[in-house]
A = this chain, B = another copy of it.
């Protein structure tokens, strides 16, 4: 690989990892469990902060389906501030900020949360995947949805 090609490959890897995490966030909000699942290595380790720790992608997806995939749970997962470090051709790490907002229209509660992800990625089978992910919250606000106003999914 020439020097120029290596520099292009690094830029491509950064873009691919951003797109991977963005696909993950968008699929979380759309409750597309299969898309979320495909973002992870099978043996990924996931520390979801207040949502628990999981030692495989399937275990995390089980939590995701049980906790998130209901019509009365309305989520936002918006990524921010990515700092991506390409360690080698097939290893990378990143810090991401998260803005999270959820409404439970049955219980009439909401949570706003921010924090940072500390992620590791591997390039396997032609694509970048999340190998490990640790979320550390630093701002949580819980309250009554009814006191705020009227919440829904827009449909």
The chain A residues found within 8 Å of chain B, CB to CB, are: 4-5, 7-8, 11-12, 14-15, 19, 22-23, 25-26, 29-30, 49-50, 74-84, 95, 97, 99, 101, 103, 110, 112-116, 136-145, 147-154
Query: Which of B11, B29, B76, B112 has a CB less than 8 Å from the CB of A12?
Result: B11
The answer to whether B14 and A76 have CB atoms under 8 Å apart is no
Q: 9 closest A-B pairs (Cβ-Cβ)?
A: A143-B149, A137-B154, A78-B80, A22-B81, A76-B114, A141-B151, A140-B154, A25-B81, A74-B139
Contacts of A83 in B (CB 8 A): 19, 22-23, 26
Report how far A112 CA is from B147 CA in the complex, Å.
15
Q: Looking at A5, A23, A138, A153, which has the most chain B CB atoms within 10 Å of its CB?
A: A138
Residue of B nearest to A49 (CB): B154
